[in-house]
Chains A and B, each alone.
Chain A
């Protein structure tokens, strides 16, 4: 009886300890979850897609510094990629858009000299595509921007780069864009599931 009592007493103490540890764990877990969410979910009303990818470096005719434009000078992504909110493709800006600034800004830098050369020869720099989805995929930038930016009152339009980062990664920290997200069907599907996007095959496959 006493042994039993001892045992039950012991187990009770151990149980208490376990409970304390457990609750500590839950608190820590919640804290970690909150932290991770505050670290990742900068876009209110949206759950970002999960998954990373280490794409090949794609060489470009001019080593375009995204970081200087988007991070240092805080230029909105849609200033240059102006078709993103209007059409399926985000588009590469025409050289005239580059020259709008760079006929006066930083004209002595070697990259700008190369750009000016292209401009004067009246030929666009042959940019190479970094983020490409297969031909059988129908993807519209405009509808995604509408859902996450323009219909999302909680997100100021200046912060659109957070939404772009869902699929394009932190382009702000890159010079030439580099593929950091897988952009495969699972990647799309997980996001559509979490954000209640359309789930029909023919919505995306063509």
Chain B
């Protein structure tokens, strides 16, 4: 996306996909998280810290909300306190876990408010954050209804990775400095590597045209890489001990994630899912705000 494109197509910029958008898509990366399988072990979060060079900020800064956990496991105590008489703030049993990473909304609220177009939508259906373009205005974070964007208030390089720990940094990713917003990228470095590999092996879809997902139609770009389903995994998906996280290309009707979305009758481009069968568990976070997120959750089946 050039600046010219941004200025000329400003009207289309916020419209989102349902009105045609401004993109020819190459992929539409999406995720499905099964909360029935999630045991709240935080392994996804740890894997994310390791993969994406996330700084460990320490207790004091965590309290101030300066933590940089791109994948955070939110806890809710909305279940009855089974087998306990005393009701405390943090009960022992009955917690629900929601692993939340950036929802990579197709009509992202963070994108149009960025004064320097450091966050924008890629042809991969990702909500991108270009670190060296970011000036740290934090409008995007204020406009994100999920609060899934994290700001580097400090430079953590020396405190988080004193030598020789800097050797474990991932070279496929920048180490962000202070004054820069960051968020989950759906492990774009792994996506990029998989796409590069596919292109090097001449696995390319030559023709463009349209791909139908549900009743939605996507313009697709010619010459896009043909990445196999499960050819690569995101760090959180790879490490999840119960395989609660599925990730893949939603433009590929045979991918695991497309099958899950279809199976639970959750569709992109809707503000509410009208499902005839209440047993279907799929939902998206705050979809009534028309952010059109690319992450679907499968509701937990409760005992009571």
Known interface pairs A138-B192, A140-B196. Does A202 touch B126 (Cβ–Cβ under 8 Å)?
A: yes
Known interface pairs A201-B128, A202-B126, A202-B188. Does A143 touch B199 (Cβ–Cβ under 8 Å)?
A: yes
Which residues of chain B are within 8 angstroms of A199 by Cβ–Cβ distance?
A: 1-2
In the bound complex, do residue B196 and residue A136 qualify as a contact, i.e. CB atoms below 8 Å apart?
no
In the bound complex, do residue B174 and residue A202 qualify as a contact, i.e. CB atoms below 8 Å apart?
no
Contact of A205 (CB < 8 Å), options: B2, B126, B130, B172: B130
Contact code string A116-151 (vs B, CB < 8 Å = 1, else 0): 000000000000000000111010101100100000
Residue of B nearest to A140 (CB): B196
Please classify how large the interface on chain B is, using the bins under 10, 10 to 19, 20 to 34, 35 or more.
20 to 34
Chain B CB within 8 A of A200 CB: yes
Known interface pairs A201-B120, A206-B189. Does A146 touch B200 (Cβ–Cβ under 8 Å)?
A: yes
Chain A CB within 8 A of B289 CB: no
In the bound complex, do residue B173 and residue A206 qualify as a contact, i.e. CB atoms below 8 Å apart?
yes
Which residues of chain B are within 8 angstroms of A146 by Cβ–Cβ distance?
A: 199-200
Q: Complex formed: what's the CA distance from A182 to B17 in Å?
A: 39
Task: For the complex formed, measure the closest distance between the CB of B127 and the CB atoms of chain A, giving whole angstroms.
Answer: 10
Main secondary structure of the interface of B (DSSP, over half): loop
Which residues of chain A are within 8 angstroms of B128 by Cβ–Cβ distance?
A: 201-202
Which residues, 84 to 132 on B, are CB-close (under 8 Å) to A?
A: 120, 122-124, 126, 128, 130-132
Which residues, 60 to 102 on A, are CB-close (under 8 Å) to B?
A: none
Known interface pairs A136-B174, A138-B192, A206-B174. Does A201 touch B1 (Cβ–Cβ under 8 Å)?
A: yes
Which residues of chain A are within 8 angstroms of B173 by Cβ–Cβ distance?
A: 206
Chain A CB within 8 A of B175 CB: yes
Known interface pairs A140-B196, A143-B196, A146-B200. Does A200 touch B1 (Cβ–Cβ under 8 Å)?
A: yes
Q: In this complex, which of A138, A146, A201 has the most chain B Cβ atoms within 10 angstroms of its Cβ? A: A201
Which residues, 149 to 206 on A, are CB-close (under 8 Å) to B?
A: 199-203, 205-206
Chain A CB within 8 A of B262 CB: no
Please classify how large the interface on chain A is, using the bins under 10, 10 to 19, 20 to 34, 35 or more.
10 to 19
Which residues of chain B are within 8 angstroms of A142 by Cβ–Cβ distance?
A: 196, 200
In the bound complex, do residue B123 and residue A200 qualify as a contact, i.e. CB atoms below 8 Å apart?
yes
In the bound complex, do residue B1 and residue A135 qualify as a contact, i.e. CB atoms below 8 Å apart?
no
Q: In this complex, which of A134, A140, A202, A203 has the most chain B Cβ atoms within 10 angstroms of its Cβ? A: A202
Q: Complex formed: what's the CA distance from A143 to B131 in Å?
A: 24
Residue of B nearest to A193 (CB): B2
Which residues of chain A are within 8 angstroms of B275 by Cβ–Cβ distance?
A: none
Q: Complex formed: what's the CA distance from A127 to B126 in Å?
A: 39
Residue of B nearest to A86 (CB): B200
Which residues of chain A are within 8 angstroms of B166 by Cβ–Cβ distance?
A: none
In the bound complex, do residue B200 and residue A201 qualify as a contact, i.e. CB atoms below 8 Å apart?
no
Which residues of chain A are within 8 angstroms of B15 by Cβ–Cβ distance?
A: none
In the bound complex, do residue A206 and residue B188 qualify as a contact, i.e. CB atoms below 8 Å apart?
yes
Task: For the complex formed, measure the closest distance between the CB of B23 and the CB atoms of chain A, giving whole angstroms.
Answer: 10
Q: Complex formed: what's the CA distance from A201 to B2 in Å?
A: 8
In the bound complex, do residue A202 and residue B196 qualify as a contact, i.e. CB atoms below 8 Å apart?
no
Residue pairs across A and B with Cβ atoms less than 8 A apart, 22 shown, are A134-B132, A136-B131, A138-B172, A142-B200, A143-B196, A143-B200, A146-B199, A146-B200, A199-B2, A200-B1, A200-B122, A201-B1, A202-B124, A202-B126, A203-B192, A205-B130, A205-B131, A205-B132, A206-B173, A206-B174, A206-B188, A206-B189
Question: What 11 new A-B contacts, CB under 8 Å, besides A146-B199, A201-B1, A205-B130?
Answer: A134-B132, A136-B132, A199-B2, A200-B1, A201-B120, A201-B128, A201-B133, A203-B192, A206-B173, A206-B189, A206-B192
Q: What residues of chain A have their CB less than 8 Å away from a CB belonging to chain B?
A: 134-136, 138, 140, 142-143, 146, 199-203, 205-206
8 tightest Cβ-Cβ pairs between the two chains A and B: A136-B174, A202-B128, A136-B132, A201-B130, A205-B130, A202-B122, A135-B174, A200-B122
